[in-house]
């Protein structure tokens, strides 16, 4: 028995809770936990999949033909990218509210006292958010393709198209996480839902830029959702891509840089309570 116990003690020393193998394993386990909980949560599924698909269908029925007559292009090349971004933001808000509830229920503090890697909780949330956003993007695009959306620039551009909502969504998820771990009031997190609605209605994915009044055109053109929509439109249909892609990356990295440290500090602070 002593011979059998010795390797176990060595493994404990080599692969302790602060080791890289422990980080990878614990992150994967907590990612599975979060994804399973989101799949079982009807609100998350509603916000991530059902509402965006219904929104895309409504936009295509109500304003699709008018936008096509106005611009000469199918409205789906603007509305489909926009709805994928809205789905990413809506799911982020739902998961942010859930994080606030876990914080108040003491779940985060229970994980803190367990022999798990300290960084695995936050890393798992980032990984789970990326998986959720990517899966939601694929579902919405498939629904858009059923309505007539097509990738006209090739498979490489289509692959890049799928990752724009992930980058965009993770940037806002960082902001929502920072808010959720510092306040118990879900109203502050839900205020992000209002922000996403404003970004949607005043974006180039909702109606063409020329349809907005001239005084608000600069705001609409350069706000984060518009530049992401323009990037995705260029990847799917064609057109200038360098400027909107650069702006999308700048907006996303700016949000991540601004809120990553507060999110990490707040998550650690909430877990130790």
The pair of structure tokens assigned to 151 is: 């990738």
pLDDT averaged over consecutive 10-residue blocks of the chain (273 residues)?
40 57 87 87 80 91 84 86 90 78 76 78 88 93 93 92 93 86 66 82 89 91 94 92 94 93 83 69
Evaluate whether residue 57 is within a structural domain.
yes
Distance (Å, rounded) from C-alpha 218 to C-alpha 124? 38
Q: Is residue 8 part of a domain?
A: no
**Do the domain assignments include residue 130?**
yes
- Give the per-residue pLDDT at 171: 92
Look-up: residue for tokens 């601004």? 258
C-alpha count within 13 angstroms, C-beta hemisphere, residue 91: 36
Domain annotation covers residue 6: no
Q: Go through 114-125 and write b for each residue having 16 or more CB atoms within 10 A of its CB, e for each that does not.
A: eebbbbbbbbbb
Quote the domain boundaries for residue 120. Answer: 21-271
Domain count, the chain: 1
Amino acid 20: pLDDT? 78
Distance CA 6, CA 11 (A): 9
CB 98 within 8 A of CB 4: no
Q: Is residue 217 part of a domain?
A: yes
Task: Determine, yes or no, domain membership for 4.
Answer: no
What pTM value is reported for the model? 0.86
Q: How far apart are CA 173 and CA 168, in angstroms?
A: 9
Give the contacts of 67 (CB within 8 A, at least 6 positions apart): 75, 78, 207, 208
pLDDT score for 184: 58
């Amino acid at each position: 028995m002593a011979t059998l116990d010795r390797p176990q003690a060595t493994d404990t020393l080599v692969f302790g809770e602060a080791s890289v193998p422990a980080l990878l394993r614990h992150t994967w386990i907590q990612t599975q936990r979060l994804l399973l909980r989101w799949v079982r949560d009807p609100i998350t599924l509603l916000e991530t999949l059902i509402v965006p698909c219904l929104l895309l269908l409504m936009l295509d029925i109500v304003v699709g033909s008018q936008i096509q007559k106005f611009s000469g292009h199918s409205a789906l090349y603007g509305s489909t990218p926009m709805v994928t971004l809205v789905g990413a933001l809506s799911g982020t808000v739902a998961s942010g509210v859930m994080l606030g509830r876990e914080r108040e229920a003491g779940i985060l503090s229970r994980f803190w006292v367990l022999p798990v890697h300290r960084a695995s909780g936050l890393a798992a949330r980032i990984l789970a958010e990326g998986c959720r956003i990517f899966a939601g993007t694929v579902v919405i695009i498939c629904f858009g393709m059923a309505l007539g959306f097509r990738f006209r620039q090739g498979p490489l551009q289509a692959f890049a198209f799928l990752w724009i909502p992930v980058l965009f969504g993770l940037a806002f998820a960082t902001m929502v996480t920072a808010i959720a771990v510092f306040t118990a009031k879900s109203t502050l997190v839900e205020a992000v839902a209002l922000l996403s609605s404003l970004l949607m209605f005043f974006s180039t994915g909702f109606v063409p830029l020329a349809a907005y009044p001239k005084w608000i055109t600069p705001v609409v053109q350069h706000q984060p959702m518009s530049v992401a929509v323009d990037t995705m439109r260029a990847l799917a249909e064609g057109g200038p891509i360098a400027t909107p892609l650069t702006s999308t990356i700048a907006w996303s990295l700016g949000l991540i840089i601004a809120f990553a440290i507060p999110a990490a500090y707040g998550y650690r602070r909430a877990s130790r309570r």
